Amino acid sequence: MNSYESLATPGVQGLQPYQPGKPESALKRESGLDTIIKLASNENPLGPDPLICSRLPALLAELGRYPDGTGFELKQLLADRLSVKPEQITLGNGSNDILELVARVFLQPGREAVMSRHAFAIYQLATQAVGADYVLASPTDGVNGPVYGHDLQAIRELVNDKTALVFIANPNNPTGTYLSSFWLKDFIDSLPQQTICVLDEAYFEYVKASDYSTALDWLDECPNLMVTRTFSKAYGMAGLRIGYSVSSIDVAELLNRVRQPFNVNSLALAAAQLALLDDAHLNAGISLNTKGLLQLAEGLEALGLAVIPSVGNFISCNLARSVQPVYQALLNRGVIVRPIENYDMPGYIRTTVGTTSEIDYFLNALELTLRA
């Protein structure tokens, strides 16, 4: 440990930073390839609404001004759309920002956050960074629920008087599994009032399952529920970094005490408002994903690979071999996917649903790689 690391807080000293998916630009520099297919970061292949692209240039002249630190207009629009009060909404620099805020507010040394073993890595990192402990619940085994899915009973058994937060993604990343509304509502009702359930709905727009619904309708009954969402996925705005949470007014007020006053930039605020006014682009992306998810699942299964049934905009499959040689071979062919062995899932990769041609390109590259 060097002298500067010894000055850091204990949580930061032991932290391994989050590793994002490999950028296309990095692979182009390294490989010299012209064609790069990136299917690593669960991005929307359609990108943002064309309306956003046409309107944002007019805002560039105002970049010398600070953005509205309250996000008043966007919060009003979201509140009308979601049938909640603007005071229940907290805006973030992506939903990751919200996850960091809730950890800062409610966690400290001696407190715990409970989450599934195969859940989004940021939950662990945000918990550890503030010196709190994270507790991992084993996933379902395929008998009592979908393989690698959340085991709500196992999570509930880990909740005790030190548990400040429970993190649940529904659908879950990186597995793509989901929890039915019936079981999830019962679980939240069973939690102690002092334990806040942070329900991450980053991928909820893509879900077609009849027994799935958003948890927003439960906020009045469950004051210890907080729902986080993002414009990065279905709205295709990952580069602008904007997300939000909906919670009780009391919880939102606490989050705003530690939220940076200008954590969302002017372009992101304007783009989010425009995105909410045009459902056609959103629905086109969802339709493309529904078809692409089926194409991807059938293609992987045709290669003899076991897939985890997914309701998101990605799918994870078991290569039944060491991942890194396959990952590198795919990079050599210009395809970027996401190894997820760091999620304690040996042999697994996660692949984003791209366009029809991108999926075909990936499946062909993977077949050639596996044969070699």
Does the pLDDT of residue 1 top 60, yes or no? no
CA dist., res. 165 & res. 194, Å (int): 9
Q: Please report which helix (H) or strand (E) contains residue 114, including its range.
A: strand 112-116
78 pLDDT higher than 70: yes
Same domain (yes/no): 272, 351: no
158 and 211 belong to one structural domain: yes
- At 37-59, the pLDDT tens digits run 999 999 999 999 999 999 999 99
Give the chain's mean pLDDT. Answer: 95
| 274 and 297 inside one domain | no
Residue with the larger pLDDT of the pair 139 and 340: 340
pLDDT over 90 (residue 21): no
225 and 329 inside one domain: no
* Contact in structure between 140 and 149 (CB atoms under 8 Å): yes
Return the higher-pLDDT residue of 315 and 143: 315
**The predicted structure's pLDDT at residue 11:** 85
Alpha-carbon span 237 to 59, nearest angstrom: 17
354 plus 260 within the same structural domain: no
In order, the DSSP letters of 48-98 are S-HHHHHHGGGGGGGTTSPP-TT-HHHHHHHHHHHTS-GGGEEEESSHHHH
**pTM for this model (two decimals):** 0.94
**pLDDT tens-digit series, residues 142-187:** 766 677 889 999 999 999 999 999 999 999 999 999 999 999 999 9
Quick one: 211 and 93 in the same domain? yes
CATH of the domain at 39: 3.90.1150.10
In which region does residue 351 sit, left (phi positive, over 0), alpha (psi from -120 to 50) or beta (all else)?
A: beta
Beta bridge partners of 226: 198
Please tell me whether residues 205 and 253 are part of one structural domain. yes
The predicted pLDDT at position 290 comes to 98
Task: Give the per-residue pLDDT at 315.
Answer: 98
The CATH number linked to 260 is 3.40.640.10
Count the Cβ atoms, other than its own, within 10 Å of residue 315.
26
Q: What is the pLDDT of residue 18?
A: 83
* Res 107 pLDDT > 60: yes
Domain count, the chain: 2
- Tell me: do 181 and 268 sit in the same domain: yes
- Among 238, 263, 278, which residue terminates a domain? 278
- Among the three residues 229, 244, 278, which one is the final residue of a domain in this structure? 278
Please indicate, yes or no, whether residues 43 and 55 belong to a single structural domain of this protein: no
pLDDT at 6 over 90: no
Antiparallel, parallel or unpaired: β 243-246 and 225-230: antiparallel
Q: How confident is residue 346, by pLDDT bands cut at 50, 70 and 90?
A: very high
Summarised one tens digit per residue, pLDDT across range 283-299 is 999 999 999 999 999 99
- Asked if residue 156 and residue 124 are part of one domain, the reply reads yes
Where is the domain boundary, 261, 278, 295?
Answer: 278
User: How high is the pLDDT of residue 139?
Assistant: 85
Residue owning tokens 């003899």: 304
pLDDT (tens digit per residue) in 233-285: 999 999 999 999 999 999 999 999 999 999 999 999 999 999 999 899 999 99
Structural domain including 354 reads 3-47+280-371
Instruction: Say if CB 101 and CB 263 are below 8 A apart.
Output: no
Stated as kind and residue range, the H or E segment containing 4 is helix 3-7
What confidence score (pLDDT) does residue 314 get? 98
Residue type for position 258: V
Shared-domain flag, residues 263 and 330:
no
The helix-helix angle for 95-106 and 249-258 (nearest 10°) equals 90
Pair (200, 221) in one structural domain: yes
